[in-house]
């Protein structure tokens, strides 16, 4: 009898009216990525971001991002704490034309957003990362300001050529819920 009463109550709540449509809140930003290994080239300096000024970064991956944001994605690895199976890094999403293998995104005004993440390999070729958006560029505050402090997850696979990482494809998602780490 209790189950019947709860079932009827739940049905009445559903029929009473639909849940609000979110009033313009996007549940997440979803993108597909492709990336090329850069062999830890330090020649492109990481964009200056608040929060970790003494960190040494090595440029590791660069590629395209397509979906809710289109442009260039870069991953930097924090040194010296990187290992081949896990690490700490940062990501950058740039509003510039992805012409691989030479991408020219140097103007800080084109940096849409960036943040930090921890990542690791879940198999010999598959990786996953989780992090937080810690920066939104001034030019993009109106469009993407609500994503500051939001959680991200990314990952994909890596093709190896001659024993070295070469190319990969994956996903990048920003969730519209705050991080408890920011």
Residues 146-160, mean pLDDT to the nearest whole number: 93
Q: Does residue 81 lie in a domain region?
A: yes
Q: Which pLDDT does position 180 carry in this prediction? A: 53
Say if residue 101's pLDDT is above 70.
Answer: no
Measured at the CA of 95, the angle between CA 93 and CA 32, to 5 degrees, comes to 55
Residue 89 burial (C-beta neighbours within 10 Å; 0-12, 13-18, 19+): buried
Q: For the chain, what is the domain count?
A: 1
For residue 2, being part of any structural domain is answered with: no
The answer to whether residue 30 scores a pLDDT higher than 50 is yes
Q: How far is CA 78 from the centre of its chain?
A: 16
> Is 165 contained in some domain?
yes
Predicted pLDDT of residue 86: 72
User: Does residue 34 lie in a domain region?
Assistant: yes
| Residue 97, domain extent | 26-178
Judge whether 166 lies within some domain: yes
CA 68 – CA 144 distance, rounded (Å):
11
21 domain-assigned? no
Tell which wins on pLDDT, 26 or 27: 27
- Residue 49 in contact with residue 135, Cβ under 8 Å? yes
Residue 5 lies in a domain: no
Q: Rounded to 5 degrees, what are φ and ψ at 158? A: -130, 130
In a domain? residue 10: no
């Amino acid at each position: 009898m209790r189950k019947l009463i709860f079932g009827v109550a739940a049905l009445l709540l559903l029929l009473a009216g639909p849940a609000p449509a979110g009033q313009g809140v996007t549940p997440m930003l979803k993108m597909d990525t492709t990336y090329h290994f850069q062999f830890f080239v330090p020649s492109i300096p990481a964009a200056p971001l608040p929060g970790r000024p003494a960190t040494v970064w090595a440029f590791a991956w660069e590629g395209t991002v397509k979906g809710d944001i289109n442009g260039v994605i870069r991953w930097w690895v924090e040194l010296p704490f990187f290992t081949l199976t896990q690490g700490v890094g940062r990501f950058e999403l740039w509003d510039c034309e992805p012409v691989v293998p030479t991408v020219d995104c140097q103007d800080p005004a084109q940096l849409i957003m960036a943040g930090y993440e921890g990542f690791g390999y879940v198999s010999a070729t598959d990786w996953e990362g989780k992090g937080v958006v810690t920066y939104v560029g001034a030019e993009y505050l109106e469009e993407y300001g609500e994503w500051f402090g939001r959680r991200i997850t990314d990952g994909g696979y890596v093709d190896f050529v001659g024993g070295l990482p070469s190319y990969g494809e994956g996903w990048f998602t920003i969730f519209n819920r705050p991080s408890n780490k920011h």
